[in-house]
Amino acid sequence: MTRVDVLSIFPELFPGPLGAGVVGRALERGLLSVQAHDLRDFTDDRHRQVDDTAFGGGPGMVLKPEPLLRAVRQFRAADPSARVILLSPQGRRLTQEVVRELAGEAHLVLVCGRYQGVDERAREEIGEELSIGDYVLSGGELAAMVVVEAVARLLPGTLGSQESLSDETFTESGFEPPLYTRPAVFEGREVPEVLRSGHHAEIERWRREQSREQMRRRRPDMVRDGATAGGV
Ligand code: 4HQ
- Whether 132 lines ligand 1, by a CB cut-off of 6 Å, is yes
Contact (Cβ atoms closer than 8 angstroms) between residue 195 and residue 180: yes
How far is residue 19's CA from residue 33's CA, in Å, rounded to a whole number?
11
The pLDDT of residue 11 is 98
How far is residue 203's CA from residue 194's CA, in Å, rounded to a whole number?
6
Place 223 in a pLDDT band, splitting at 50, 70 and 90.
Answer: confident
Query: 164 CA to middle of ligand 1, Å?
Result: 28
Query: 52 CA to middle of ligand 1, Å?
Result: 19
Mutate to test the pocket of ligand 1, among 112, 126, 136, 149 (most ligand atoms within 8 A of CB): 136
Single-letter residue type at 131 = S
Helices 141-152 and 21-28 meet at what angle, rounded to 10? 80
How far is residue 189's CA from residue 59's CA, in Å, rounded to a whole number?
57
Q: Residue 75 above 90 pLDDT?
A: yes
How far is residue 99's CA from residue 88's CA, in Å, rounded to a whole number?
16
The pLDDT of residue 227 is 55
Q: How far is CA 96 from the centre of its chain?
A: 9
User: What pairs with residue 117 in β-bridges?
Assistant: 62
How far is residue 140's CA from residue 187's CA, in Å, rounded to a whole number?
45
- Whether 230 lines ligand 1, by a CB cut-off of 6 Å, is no
Task: Give the pLDDT confidence of 136-150 residue by residue, as tens digits.
Answer: 999 999 999 999 999
- Whether 131 lines ligand 1, by a CB cut-off of 6 Å, is yes
Q: Which of 24, 34, 47, 37 minimizes the C-alpha distance to 4?
A: 34
Place 172 in a pLDDT band, splitting at 50, 70 and 90.
Answer: low
- Region of residue 62 (phi > 0: left; psi between -120 and 50: alpha; otherwise: beta): beta
How far is residue 175's CA from residue 7's CA, in Å, rounded to a whole number?
33
Q: Is the peptide bond before 183 cis (omega within 30 degrees of 0)?
A: yes
Give the nearest ligand 1 atom to 63 CA.
10
Query: 71 CA to middle of ligand 1, Å?
Result: 20
- Whether 139 lines ligand 1, by a CB cut-off of 6 Å, is yes
How far is residue 79's CA from residue 41's CA, in Å, rounded to a whole number?
19
- Whether 143 lines ligand 1, by a CB cut-off of 6 Å, is yes
Give the nearest ligand 1 atom to 117 CA.
10
Across the beta sheet with 83-93, what order do the strands follow? 33-38, 3-8, 107-111, 83-93, 129-131
Dihedral (CA of 40, 63, 134, 87) sign = negative
pTM: 0.93
Contact (Cβ atoms closer than 8 angstroms) between residue 145 and residue 92: no
Task: Give the pLDDT confidence of 33-69 residue by residue, as tens digits.
Answer: 999 999 999 999 999 999 999 999 999 999 999 999 9
Q: Residue 161 above 90 pLDDT?
A: no
- Whether 21 lines ligand 1, by a CB cut-off of 6 Å, is no
Q: How far is it between the farthest Cα atoms of the chain?
A: 71
Q: Which of 133, 129, 123, 107 minimizes the C-alpha distance to 34?
A: 107
- Whether 114 lines ligand 1, by a CB cut-off of 6 Å, is yes
- Whether 89 lines ligand 1, by a CB cut-off of 6 Å, is yes
Give the nearest ligand 1 atom to 132 CA.
2
